[in-house]
Amino acid sequence: MPQKKKEMEVPGPRRVADILADAGIRPTTVIVTQGRKLLTKDQRVEDGETIEILSVVSGG
Amino acid sequence: MKCKRCRKAAAAVDLPSHHSAFCPECFFVFFRRQVEEGIRKFRLFSPDDRVLVCVSGGKDSLVLWDILMELGYRTEGLHIDLGIEGYSARSREKTLAYASSRGKEPIVVDLHAEGVPIPEAAKRARKEECSVCGTVKRYFFNRVAAERGFTVVATGHNLDDEAARLLGNLLHWDADHLSRQHPLLPEAAEGLVRKVKPLWRVSEMETAAYGFLKGIDYVTEECPMSEDATSLIYKEALTLIEEEMPGTRRRFYQGFLDPKNRDVPGNPVADACREDASKDGKDIGEGGTPRKCNSCGAPTYAETCSFCRLKERVTKPQGRS
Ligand code: SF4
Ligand SMILES: [Zn+2]
Ligand SMILES: [Zn+2]
């Protein structure tokens, strides 16, 4: 099972969807945040910025 | 991407299953409507009801409490401290912190104090933790509701939870569980309160996004007992299908609830569902009127209710009975 919460520094400007695909994460199983902001999957993140990937799947 | 509703602000939440994307403000409107529609559709409760909201400290239950308060329902929170080392203390802390940020104080049932902390109780009763946990939770939902005059108990199960459970129940043709898998389980008898799942229309991702945008601080760790939960396998299977065919999960579960489908002749699921949607737990299932547990007075078909039997096994000196 993937970790619940993962902080990640982004290598190079990339779309959130591509970052998730590279990490092998299914896009509907997480929310991606940057500070107080929620990012959509088509949003671009710049080189060296940090994002947080939070799993939304619970065992219940 | 722009918000598909106001077409001004930038979108913050993708909703492929609704072919949409919303800015935070419009997403709040969407989410509120989904929950309101879920309550209205099956008349889960009315503004006159006193709603006991079961809050574990996780995202679903805190979001549930938050939205019900926002919609103006009369709610109180019930937190059951399961007595699981570390996890329970952190869950309780988040629940209390959230409640006090809303000027509330939840009712807390402490299973250590009740003599049945889940890990020890399971060990002594030689049962699975989650099965013991289910018995204990059901018992206290009913008892607290009866003692304090609540007319309905609400839990935070969302669309993903219910769809995964439906898939599991169908794969095993579990007619008994299928017959009780509805967002509304009416009061089965005096002391067996009505149970509802108001978040049945919203997905796990939507609930998490709502919690995040509302600044709700919840426990992100899983209950350590849940490690081999098969429900995760069903969730994963549905995710796979959902991502190829957005909206399928919703149609799957809503189709199950649709009365039209229940009238398909010869459908064993439909028959099971029609039979009795109001059975509640192992105690109730033989039909007829329950009697009172001779130890605690709770409704049961046995001499002693399953909670009191469990407690007896747990508190008695070791050895088989
Ligand atoms: S996973 Fe934890 S909280 Fe859930 S039923 Fe099992 S013991 Fe209870
Ligand atoms: Zn908008
Ligand atoms: Zn009893």
- Give B68-125 pLDDT, tens digit per residue: 999 999 999 999 999 999 999 999 999 999 999 999 999 999 999 999 999 999 999 9
With 0-12 CB in 10 A as exposed, 13-18 as middle and 19+ as buried, what is A31? buried
Does a structural domain hold residue B156?
yes
pLDDT at position B315: 85
User: pLDDT (tens digit, 9 = 90+) per residue, A11-52?
Assistant: 879 999 999 999 999 999 999 999 999 999 999 999 999 999
Does a structural domain hold residue B303?
no
| Minimal-distance CA residue to ligand 1 atom 5 | B130
Does a structural domain hold residue A49?
no
Q: Which of B204, B221, B227 sits opposite A56 (nearest CB)?
A: B204
| Minimal-distance CA residue to ligand 1 atom 7 | B130
Distance B4 CA to ligand 2 centre (A): 7
User: What is the average pLDDT value for chain B, to the nearest integer?
Assistant: 91
For residue B130, which atom of ligand 1 is closest to its CA?
A: 6
Instruction: Tell me how many domains chain B contains.
Output: 1
Q: Where are the alpha helices (DSSP H) in B158-258?
A: 159-171, 175-179, 204-213, 231-244, 248-257
Decide if A33 touches B, using CB distance below 8 A. Answer: yes
Q: Where are the beta strands (DSSP E) in B67-220?
A: 74-81, 107-110, 152-154, 184-185, 194-196
Does a structural domain hold residue A27?
yes
Which phi and psi (to 5°) does residue B184 adopt? -125, 120
Does a structural domain hold residue A59?
no
Domain ranges, residue A11 = 7-35
Domain ranges, residue B89 = 43-216+228-268
In chain B, the residue whose alpha carbon lies closest to the alpha carbon of A3 is B221
| Minimal-distance CA residue to ligand 1 atom 3 | B223
Say what the ipTM of the complex is: 0.93
Separation between Cα atoms, residue B163 and residue B199, nearest integer Å: 12
Does a structural domain hold residue B54?
yes
Decide if A44 touches B, using CB distance below 8 A. Answer: no
Structure tokens at B111: 């299973």
| Residues of chain B above pLDDT 90, percent | 80
Which chain B residues have a beta carbon less than 8 Å from that of A40? 1, 11-14, 21
Identify the residue among B158, B204, B210 best suited for mutation to test binding to A, counting A beta carbons within 10 A and taking the highest.
B204
Which phi and psi (to 5°) does residue B181 adopt? -90, 75
Does a structural domain hold residue A11?
yes
Separation between Cα atoms, residue A39 and residue A13, nearest integer Å: 14
pLDDT at position B259: 84
With beta carbons less than 8 A apart as the criterion, state whether B10 and B3 touch: yes
Structure tokens at B71: 């919609």
Does a structural domain hold residue A25?
yes
Separation between Cα atoms, residue A47 and residue B78, nearest integer Å: 45
Does a structural domain hold residue A23?
yes
Exposure pattern of B93-106 as b/e (b: 16+ CB <10 Å)?
A: ebbbebbeeeebeb
> pLDDT-based confidence at B285, cuts 50/70/90?
very low
Res B272 pLDDT > 80 = no
Does a structural domain hold residue B31?
no
| Minimal-distance CA residue to ligand 1 atom 1 | B226
Does a structural domain hold residue B321?
no
Exposure pattern of B117-153 as b/e (b: 16+ CB <10 Å)?
A: bbbebbebbeeebbebbebbbbbbbbbbbbeeebbbb
Ligand (nearest to CA of B10): 2
Res B266 pLDDT > 70 = no
Within 6 A (CB) of ligand 1 lie A 59-60; B 118, 129-130, 133-134, 223, 225-226
Which phi and psi (to 5°) does residue B8 adopt? -115, -60
Does a structural domain hold residue B139?
yes
Does a structural domain hold residue B108?
yes
| Residues of chain A above pLDDT 70, percent | 93
Which chain A residues have a beta carbon less than 8 Å from that of B229? 59
With beta carbons less than 8 A apart as the criterion, state whether B81 and B88 touch: yes
Does a structural domain hold residue B59?
yes
Other C-beta atoms within 10 Å of B108: how many? 16
Which phi and psi (to 5°) does residue B214 adopt? -85, 0
Instruction: Tell me how many domains chain A contains.
Output: 1
User: pLDDT (tens digit, 9 = 90+) per residue, B187-238?
Assistant: 988 899 999 999 999 999 999 999 999 999 999 888 998 866 788 999 999 9
> pLDDT-based confidence at A1, cuts 50/70/90?
very low
**pTM of structure:** 0.92
With beta carbons less than 8 A apart as the criterion, state whether A16 and A42 touch: yes
pLDDT at position B316: 80
Does a structural domain hold residue A60?
no
Greatest C-alpha distance within chain A: 37
Residues with CB under 5 A from ligand 3 (ion): B 293, 295-296, 298, 305, 308
What is the arithmetic mean of pLDDT over B245-250? 96
Q: Which of B220, B226, B243 sits opposite A5 (nearest CB)?
A: B220
Strand partners, B13: B22
Does a structural domain hold residue A17?
yes
Of B59-63, B140-144, B207-211, B288-292, minimum mean pLDDT range:
B288-292
* Helix (H/G/I), strand (E/B), else coil: B120: helix
Over its C-alpha atoms, chain B yields an Rg (Å, rounded) of 20
pLDDT at position B190: 87
Amino acid at B21: A
Domain holding B253: CATH number?
Answer: 3.40.50.620
Question: Which of the listed residues B81, B88, B118 should we mutate to test ligand 1's pocket, taking the one with most ligand atoms within 8 A of CB?
Answer: B118
pLDDT at position B151: 97
| Minimal-distance CA residue to ligand 1 atom 6 | B130
Distance A39 CA to ligand 1 centre (A): 31
